[in-house]
Amino acid sequence: MNERERIIVSGAACVLLVAWLGFLFHSSPRFAGSPVGTAFGIAGAVLMLVPLLYPIAKRIPLLHASITRHVSMQRLLAWHVYAGVFGPVLAVVHSGHRFDSPLGVLLIALMFLVIVSGFAVRYLLTYVNQDIKDKLILLQTARGDLDSAWGVLENSPAQLRGLPKTPVMTAGLASLGIELPFSGPAGEVMRTAESVADLEYAIATDDLLKLWFSRSLKLHIAFSILLYLLLAFHIGAEIHLGLRWLA
């Protein structure tokens, strides 16, 4: 994940949101069919076709070698992300904030769903995976500290007898911020064990998020297929109407 890429994509997503909300203040029914509006629509459609290069190069072995000979997969992924965000921005401008067509409303909604699901796959899933790796390293260190602290405690029978007889209740009180006064090796064992439990809970939570964000990829693909089908229908309908008008 590139920091510059994240800033650019986040900024473009904010611009898209602001541009979409412009219908509250502005609507131009004739802009989409004007020469300028048509230019925005064609540019947006072309940009929205660029993201197809990445899945084609990734999933079709016959084309993978010929495409990657000229463009790396990393660059294709960057084009996939940038075009997938800037294309919808131009499409919203092309609409002129005229959202009285069910097809147009559905296209706008699908564009947002594609961007949100793609953002989850590209950024949130990557962040969660890295967070899990970092916490696993901390957990390994904490477990080593717990073993060391427990070894010291075993050599102190008096401290060992001072451990709580109800560790579950003690852990529950600690989770509420109420810590019982344990000092010496016993206190070190309690504090380290609490740290281990916190890390294990955090990793379990990240694993759950990873599962949901992994499913976002399937949603991203499904939304994208539906978006391209409706986009083809929209372009075909506009060409048909244009030919009828010329006739």
Token pair listed for 85: 């965000």
- Which pLDDT score, from 0 to 100, does residue 2 have? 64
Q: For residues 94 and 28, is the Cβ–Cβ distance under 8 A?
A: no
Give CA–CA dist 191/203, Å, rounded.
19
Q: Is the sign of the CA dihedral 177, 181, 182, 188 positive or negative?
A: positive
Cα distances from 102 to residues 20, 26, 108, 125, in angstroms, run 16, 19, 10, 33
Q: How far apart are CA 29 and CA 97, in angstroms?
A: 8
What confidence score (pLDDT) does residue 187 get? 63
Q: At what angle do helices 102-119 and 184-246 cross, to 10 degrees?
A: 150
* CB-CB contact of 32 with 96 (8 Å): yes
HSE toward the beta carbon, residue 2, CA cutoff 13 A: 10
Give the DSSP H/E element, type plus range, for residue 211.
helix 184-246
Tell me the CA end-to-end span of the chain in Å, nearest whole number: 52
N residues, the chain: 247
Ordered per-residue pLDDT tens for the chain, 247 residues: 567 777 777 777 777 777 777 776 777 878 877 888 889 989 999 999 999 989 888 888 888 888 888 888 888 888 888 898 899 889 888 888 777 778 888 988 898 889 888 888 877 888 888 889 999 999 888 888 878 876 766 666 655 555 554 444 444 444 444 454 554 566 666 777 778 888 888 899 988 888 888 788 888 889 999 999 999 988 888 787 766 666 5
CB burial of 142-179 (b: ≥16 within 10 Å; e: otherwise) equals bbebbeebeeebeeeeebeeeeeeeeeebeeebeeeee
156, 185 in Cβ contact below 8 A?
yes
Q: Is the pTM for the entire model greater than 0.85?
A: no
Could you read off the pLDDT of 163-190 as tens digits, one per residue? Answer: 554 444 444 444 444 454 554 566 666 7
